[in-house]
Amino acid sequence: MSPIFDLTGKCALVTGSSQGIGFALSRGLAEHGATVVLNGRTESKLEEAASTLRSDGLEVKIAVFDVTDPEAVRKAVARIESEVGPIDILINNAGMQYRAPLEDFPEEEWSRLMRTNVDSVFYVGKAVAKGMIARGTGRIINIASVQAELARPGIAPYTATKGAVRNLTRGMSTDWAKHGIRVNALAPGYFKTPLNKALVEDPQFTEWLEKRTPAGRWGQVEELVGTAVFLSSEAASFLTGQTIFVDGGLSSSV
């Protein structure tokens, strides 16, 4: 591996990483040398994910906490830094989806989307940044979405959350670049994940997506790893405040 992409000796916290995109990114960082801390709310799922990665010889820990609870976040970050090591890389991946016509969208689901997709990025980012500021270095990657740029019927609130993540990324980078912290967003297009299970299983949607996307297919989560490793490494030493779309060309075409 080129030294510029080597993450050996780095500690990475990946939220929402027991499955899907978070799990794939955790594997990718670990394969490039990082010690990865998996996060989620269900210990059994995290243990299963960690066991899978450890069976491949990768260095993995787990941290069970709710990213929407600011006090739990502060305690967990302190515990990780005490027991595992200073957090060099944070990937804010935890997220959820809820689909309904906007005029019928339940208020409680709006609030839950905001807590999970936006508040968590603020809570975890803030808690981790304090240590990064003291050390004068750090990398934060917020997982946005192609929906930070585009809208689709039935998911207007989700679109709002990902637009917020994109702008929060800009704000974080503006405040923290002077402390040696690089903050960028990775915006996936349509990938085969548990979050998209209903769409993946819908033949009509898949047909539409394949026609609409220049690459002509769904993305595979492993195709996000290269961008995440790049943003986590010294190869991106002067890159901050940016949102990189990994979407098969979807956001670039009409």
| Residue given tokens 């799922």 in the structure block | 45
Instruction: Look up the pTM and report it.
Output: 0.96
Note whether 8 and 33 are within 8 A (CB). Answer: yes
Looking at residue 201, its amino acid is: E
What is the pLDDT averaged over residues 89-118? 97
pLDDT band at 2 (very low <50, low <70, confident <90, very high): confident
Residue 128 predicted with pLDDT over 70: yes
**Domain made up of 3-246: CATH architecture:** 3-Layer(aba) Sandwich (3.40)
Catalytically active residues are 158
Question: How many residues are given for the chain?
Answer: 254
Instruction: Kindly report, residue by residue over 193-252, the tens digit of the pLDDT.
Output: 988 888 999 999 999 999 999 999 999 999 999 999 999 999 999 999 999 999 999 999
Instruction: Kindly report, residue by residue over 31-42, the tens digit of the pLDDT.
Output: 999 999 999 999
Sequence-distant (≥ 6) Cβ neighbours of residue 185 within 8 angstroms: 141, 142, 143, 144, 148, 165, 166, 169, 242, 243, 244
Instruction: Kindly report, residue by residue over 38-80, the tens digit of the pLDDT.
Output: 999 999 999 999 999 999 999 999 999 999 999 999 999 999 9
Residue 104 predicted with pLDDT over 80: yes
Q: Which of 7, 93, 17, 104 is nearest to 61 (CA)?
A: 17
Instruction: Kindly report, residue by residue over 133-171, the tens digit of the pLDDT.
Output: 999 999 999 999 999 999 999 999 999 999 999 999 999
pLDDT band at 1 (very low <50, low <70, confident <90, very high): low
Note whether 221 and 190 are within 8 A (CB). Answer: no
Residue 153: DSSP 8-state: T
What is the pLDDT averaged over residues 103-127? 98
Q: What percentage of the chain carries pLDDT values higher than 90? A: 96
